[in-house]
Structure 1
Amino acid sequence: MAITHSTVSLRGFHFEAAHLTFTLTAGITAADRGKAVSFGAAANTVKLAADGETIIGRLETVEDRKVEGQLIGTVALQFSNTLPIKAGEVVAAGDTVVGAGAGEVKKAAAADHSKNFVAQVIGSEAIVVKV
């Protein structure tokens, strides 16, 4: 579905007050921007959302502070933007999504719009609203 100036879309809304800095788990790179993240094992740490995990946010930036030995990034805890759908998964408007591994998403077993909801699907990306 093409997006035109006369089409309503919720893609690309940012809530700057809900962007926070987290420590990222090893292996995350700039190529992972725009993927789903979940809480990591250590305090103030996030990782790419694994299979079935609750999504806490969308990775917005990645900064490798090699000199300091830190990998940090900005996570949008509230957003209305795209998340990649895992190949072979079927996601539709109105669904709630969870992690599917590697920061991709899939349909949750049960919808819970207090966590998030899919507003639209465009190809292999879901426009997810998390507020």
Structure 2
Amino acid sequence: MRDICIKTQVSGNHKRKNLLIVETVDQNGMQARAEKKFSYYVSEQSPAQDPGNAQAWLEMQSLFHHKKERHVSIRKVFDPKTGIGQMVYRVIGSFYVVQNLHLFAVVFMHRIKFDMLTPTPYTK
């Protein structure tokens, strides 16, 4: 059996958006759960401007607001007594978006978490 649940959430001022996807699988006594969470936050926004000024705005941003470098972390855990395994993958960073001559600085976090439960605990 496989279940999928999708949830989205947008803040009132539209500066933050969260997306959560949870997938649960139960097959042949093996249970697995994948949780994917994507968060985006608009940290800076420029007014509409001509393309020549857009480059100047980006250069000012690089001087005063440090763009967050991507950070990736992976954590794996397995408990042989309970038979539960878990892996968490996380990426944090930022990027720029141009839409209708508006420039946006966006900070993001992506997290994917896998939980695995074996039918019987592992024994040696």
Which band: TM-score by shorter chain? under 0.3
TM-score (norm 1): 0.21
Q: Whose Rg is larger?
A: 2
The structure with the largest helix share of the pair is 2
The structure with the largest strand share of the pair is 2
